[in-house]
Structure 1
């Protein structure tokens, strides 16, 4: 799958990218700031997006809204776990950081309805 990563911590973004590649997926973009993530979400051709909730003090929910409008599945990977999700996002798959590659694989399957 082609995956978008939205994560403001560079080392975590690289770790997720490595895990995704180990699982056989292709990372098509990494966005680290909200403004960048919004622009990428509008244009990227992706099969899935993995979003951190807190991007340098800003929530990533506007990015999630764009992805939902474009029918691109997404899930959250966050240090807040499910407690960080609000409203309509509470039903979205979420993975609490830190996590293992196997947990990421399960999150992807859940987000894509597999």
Structure 2
């Protein structure tokens, strides 16, 4: 279902999810597909995310800040270098766990509502 209209930007076509919790990843994937995203790729580590980006740059990314034994900041740096919009997703409060270098990046608090997730997608795509 294409939810875009002349007054409303389309969702990104290809979204990369970086999330180490499979239940959360599946939830994000299902919601993204429901918004009209055509391709969703999910990875659970920094190395796999960087490989996925090198293979095919996404239009947008959701980055869990705290992965099993690492943080997603190297991915964020790569996405910024490529000018690919992304949102940090975190279970921590707004000031915890995010490097000062990324203080201005958008973030979603876990658990986030579908409305918040869709708004982040549409906003990122509108400014792209």
Tell me if TM exceeds 0.5.
Answer: yes
Show CA shifts across 1:56-100 (max 9, x none): 020000011111111111111111242222122110110000111
Question: 2: CA distance between counterparts of 1:81 and 1:42?
Answer: 31
Match of 1:90 among 99, 103, 106: 103
User: Given that residues 93 and 110 in structure 1 are in contact (C-alpha distance below 8 angstroms), is that contact kept between their aligned partners in structure 2?
Assistant: no
Could you tell me which runs of 5 or more consecutive residues in structure 2 were left unpaired when the two chains were aligned: 1-11
Please report the RMSD computed on the Cα atoms of aligned residues, expressed in angstroms.
1.5
User: Given that residues 8 and 33 in structure 1 are in contact (C-alpha distance below 8 angstroms), is that contact kept between their aligned partners in structure 2?
Assistant: yes
1:7-46 aligned at under 5 Å gives the runs 7-46=19-58
Offset of residue 113 of structure 1? 4.6
Offset of residue 112 of structure 1? 3.6
Match of 2:118 among 105, 108, 112: 105
Could you tell me which runs of 5 or more consecutive residues in structure 1 were left unpaired when the two chains were aligned: none
* Bigger Rg over Cα: 2
Task: Identify the structure with the greater strand proportion.
Answer: 1
Normalized against structure 1, the TM-score is what?
0.90
Judged with a 3 Å threshold, the aligned counterparts in structure 2 of structure 1 residues 82 and 27 are, in CA distance, closer, same or farther, namely farther
Number of aligned positions between the proteins: 114
Residue 64 (structure 2) pairs with residue 52 (structure 1): yes
